[in-house]
Amino acid sequence: MKYYAYVLAAIFIGAFLPFLVSQAASSYSPSFIQVSKMVYPQHGQTLGTDGHYLFKVFPVTGAEWYVLELSQGGQIKQWYNYTGEFRLNKGTADHNMWQEGNVNVRVAYQKGGVLSPIHSFSIYLISPAKIQYPVQRQTLDLEGSYMFKAQPVLGAESYRFMFFQGGKKVYDNLHHGGVSKNGEWAIHPNDSMHRMFNAGAMEVQVVPWIDGQWGPKQVIKVNLVAR
């Protein structure tokens, strides 16, 4: 009887062992492999096309290498390194291949010969708001009207104008009258805030509001001169 019991047990194990192994293999996930996380940028973050594109994957102890993949339209490119930090310098081919708009990002790393789960997110590239007038170093009449206009930015819903003198913010349209919808702003002599300005250098900053966040700013300096 023992002989037949051994035979039946062998048949049972032989029949079901491949299934058990395949189930174990399919559910196996090394505990040391975690989904990649980003130090920067974060999902939905806006980057200016006039600057370098910097990416940093959260360091993972024992990681053998990291991979960064960008895709936009029909273009896809990957970069590999051992640090998890990637820099696409302005003016290089790697930088210039990406246009204004949404860019898909995927990152991963390898540890112990095993590739981590892929972390996917997106960023948004925009050109900074260009100030059409006044121009850099232009002289403005201290007692007159101050007129400003920003070049339209793709996707911008409004524009914030800020003015600084002596290293301090003198005026911010976000708190004085509200942001501009068309990229134009004026401060006239009859405006109560007009008297806050003094003769001398003034820094002008304009920042577009895009998809729930402030985009890259444009900065120029002008001179206010008394009559």
| Same domain, yes or no: 119 and 160 | no
| Same domain, yes or no: 202 and 152 | yes
Task: Establish if 18 belongs to a structural domain.
Answer: no
Q: What are the phi and psi torsion angles at 6 (to 5°)?
A: -65, -40
* 23, pLDDT greater than 60: no
Task: Establish if 4 belongs to a structural domain.
Answer: no
| Same domain, yes or no: 118 and 144 | no
How much of the chain exceeds pLDDT 90, in percent?
Answer: 65
* 79, 108, 126 - which closes a domain: 126
* 108, pLDDT greater than 90: yes
- Beta-strand ranges (E) seen in 98-217 are 101-111, 114-115, 119-126, 131-133, 139-141, 146-150, 158-165, 168-172, 184-187, 200-210, 213-214
CA Rg value for the chain? 29
For 192-208, b/e burial (b = at least 16 CB within 10 A) is ebbeebeeeebbbbbbb
At residue 151, the pLDDT reads 86
Task: Establish if 33 belongs to a structural domain.
Answer: no
For residue 98, give the DSSP letter: -
| Same domain, yes or no: 101 and 147 | no
Task: Please give the residue range of the domain that contains residue 95.
Answer: 38-126
Which two structure tokens, joined as six digits, stand for 220?
Answer: 């120029």
Please tell me the chain's helix, strand, coil percentages from 3-state DSSP, rounded to the nearest 5: 15, 45, 40
Residue 225: pLDDT band with limits 50, 70, 90: very high
* 97, pLDDT greater than 60: yes
> Total structural domains in the chain?
2
Task: Establish if 200 belongs to a structural domain.
Answer: yes
At residue 33, the pLDDT reads 64
Whether residue 110 contacts residue 64, with contact meaning beta carbons closer than 8 Å, is answered with yes
At residue 88, the pLDDT reads 96
Average pLDDT over residues 141-145: 96
| Same domain, yes or no: 122 and 135 | no
* 126, 158, 188 - which closes a domain: 126
Among 26-30, 39-43, 204-208, the range scoring the smallest mean pLDDT is: 26-30
Which residues have CB under 8 Å from 85's CB, separation 6+?
54, 55, 56, 57
Whether residue 193 contacts residue 176, with contact meaning beta carbons closer than 8 Å, is answered with yes
| Same domain, yes or no: 118 and 178 | no
| Same domain, yes or no: 162 and 120 | no
| Same domain, yes or no: 213 and 149 | yes
| Same domain, yes or no: 89 and 154 | no
* 136, pLDDT greater than 60: yes
| Same domain, yes or no: 161 and 122 | no
Average pLDDT over residues 132-156: 92
Average pLDDT over residues 201-214: 90
* 77, pLDDT greater than 80: yes
Q: What is the CATH number of the domain that holds 105?
A: 2.60.40.10
At residue 120, the pLDDT reads 96
Task: Establish if 70 belongs to a structural domain.
Answer: yes
Task: Establish if 92 belongs to a structural domain.
Answer: yes
Task: Establish if 3 belongs to a structural domain.
Answer: no
Average pLDDT over residues 65-90: 95
* 126, 141, 158 - which closes a domain: 126
| Same domain, yes or no: 176 and 110 | no
Task: Establish if 42 belongs to a structural domain.
Answer: yes
